[in-house]
Amino acid sequence: MSSEVEDRYIFPQTLTEQKRLIGIPLDEASVGLTPACVGIYFNQSLAGLIIGLLFWLALTWFKKGKGTSWLFNMCYWHLPGLNGQFKVLPESSLRLWLK
């Protein structure tokens, strides 16, 4: 009974606690393991491991200990997304209601 009650009320230590794979956050693990797996698939395991290690080092350098949410926010605000999609927009005071 006590283990069932304990399992119902498991709280993370912090609100931003994320899942980890072998002690590495999932975003860093995916960036490092994807090239390694592709290299193993194409029988280039050493090259895949080196490229995966370089990608992982680059990601940790970009994050600088600030976390995954910081990196996602930086990409959202600084990467070109919809900047050039709408060339001319009407003024916000003008509205057109279509039926």
pLDDT of 72: 81
Q: What angle do CA 46, 72, 63 make, to 5 degrees?
A: 55
The full DSSP string for 52-90 is HHHHHHHHHHHHTTS-HHHHHHHHHHHS-SSTTT-S---
Is residue 31 one of the residues assigned to a domain?
Answer: yes
**pTM of the complete model beyond 0.85:** no
pLDDT in tens, 38-86: 999 999 999 999 999 999 999 989 888 787 788 888 888 887 765 566 6
Please give the tally of structural domains in the chain: 1
Side-chain-side CA neighbours of residue 75 (13 Å): 9
Structure tokens at 23: 């002690």
Establish if 41 belongs to a structural domain.
yes
In this prediction, residue 11 has a pLDDT band, given cuts at 50, 70 and 90, of: low
40 domain residue, yes or no? yes
The answer to whether residue 96 scores a pLDDT higher than 70 is no
Q: Give the residue numbers spanning the domain of 33.
A: 23-66
Report if residue 88 sits inside a domain.
Answer: no
